[in-house]
Amino acid sequence: MARISIFGMVGLAACSAVLVAGCANGSTDSESAAQSSAASQTATSTAKSTPAPGQLPRITILATGGTIAGKANANSAVGYTAGEATAQDLIDAVPGIDKIAKLDAEQIANIGSQDMNDEVWLTLANRINQIFADDKADGVVVTHGTDTIEETAFFLDHVVASPKPVVLVGSMRPSTALSADGPANLRSAVQVAADADARDRGTMVVLNDTIHGAKDVTKTNTTSVQTFVSPNTGPLGHVDAAAVTFAEPASAHPRLTFPVPGKSPLPQVAIVYSHAGMDATQVNDALGHGAQGIVLAGVGDGNTAKPVVAALSAAAGKGVLVIRSSRVGSGSVVRNAELNDDELGTISALDLNPAKARILTQLLLANGITDKAKVQQDFADC
């Protein structure tokens, strides 16, 4: 359910996006997938499914690389190469993981997440939807580099409509490090994905014993194992060797989901980073390179220098989606506060950081959603 309705008159029936809180009662995942592609249903269910007694939950691990799959390299004392170990290597490093779940593993990619891209996103999204539609798993764990894990989590959260959990996991230290954190994190991620209470929570990120929701989670430290926080909402819960604990029951609020875009690259959306002494160069460069959308990583409450405001407003007038986010790292950009969005033709990203605002804008553009009132409403609903 929308937390706010900025334009009041937005009709959800006209959406090509869907608000989903898992499958409708009693429906199968195949039915759910069909509903998703028909893009016409609002489903609400918190029904839990637990494996039959004596049966372990089935979890599929999709590996994409990152430091969790990294190995020390010989060239430096602190250096390592991300994306070297395979999915099976990662599983083999966690004693007893086979007692938590029945595991399958697939290698989707083996890259550092600084190189994550639309093609891998589409492959992941389609594979996860297929696994759930075919009822091949009760949950999916994606191993991933930490640099862009929050972006992939956000993307998947909005293109996987199943009530089954998707859990992204990474590590801050490579697999060959002293006190490597990958094995413990992977165990935690499998525990969460295998937990019946993880249903209807969308995509999550699990590191350092903490469970975060895809919307709010963000990386805040370059090297510390305690780097991920959810600055606006706090974490969803915690996990230790004995238990998975969620702070609240799964939300009754439906999640905004879209059909997986048919092709990569996704529509071009640039992020323009605001700073003192700024002119319109970045905006003009983005437009010159064909940006269909621009996200302002604004100062403070989504603000920027006068020449940039003028250039952004002119772009909005020509049909470019212009989204005001903030470089600050927490809080919500308030519509029509420091800048008047109604007059400028801009959209407030509300509590989405610039990287996530960019992804939502790409999904909206990929689904032909450009009406400003509808775009603003979807930022409120996501």
Catalytic amino acids? 67
**Spatial distance between the Cα atoms of 213 and 209, rounded to a whole number of angstroms:** 14
Element (H, E) at 373: helix 372-381
> Directed axis angle between helix 306-317 and helix 281-288, to 10°?
30
Contact 172, 223 (CB under 8 A): yes
**Spatial distance between the Cα atoms of 230 and 237, rounded to a whole number of angstroms:** 11
Among residues 145, 202, 293, 354, the one that binds ligand ASP under rule CB under 6 A: 145
- Minimum CB distance to ligand ASP smaller for 24 or for 94: 94
Residue span 113-132 as binding mask against ligand ASP, x where in contact by CB under 6 A, dash where not = xx------------------
What does the H/E/C string look like for 18-63? EEEECCCCCCCHHHHHHHHHHCCCCEECCCCCCCCCCCCCEEEEEE
Region of 1-9, 141-149, 272-280, 372-380 interacting with ligand ASP (CB under 6 A): 141-149
Region of 52-60, 106-114, 200-208, 234-242 interacting with ligand ASP (CB under 6 A): 106-114
Region of 140-148, 199-207, 248-256, 337-345 interacting with ligand ASP (CB under 6 A): 140-148
| Interacting residues with ligand ASP between 288 and 317 (CB under 6 A) | none
- What's the min distance (Å) between Cβ of 105 and ligand ASP? 18
**Spatial distance between the Cα atoms of 166 and 140, rounded to a whole number of angstroms:** 5
> Directed axis angle between helix 149-157 and helix 354-366, to 10°?
40
**Spatial distance between the Cα atoms of 109 and 127, rounded to a whole number of angstroms:** 13
Pairing of strands 255-257, 18-21: antiparallel
Instruction: Say whether residue 182 binds ligand ASP (CB under 6 A).
Output: no
Residue span 66-85 as binding mask against ligand ASP, x where in contact by CB under 6 A, dash where not = xx--------------x---
Residue span 150-179 as binding mask against ligand ASP, x where in contact by CB under 6 A, dash where not = --------------------x-x-------
Region of 102-110, 142-150, 289-297, 317-325 interacting with ligand ASP (CB under 6 A): 142-150
Q: In this structure, what are the phi and psi dihedrals at residue 152, rounded to the nearest 5 degrees?
A: -65, -40
**Site for ligand ASP, rule CB under 6 A:** 66-67, 82, 112-114, 145-147, 170, 172
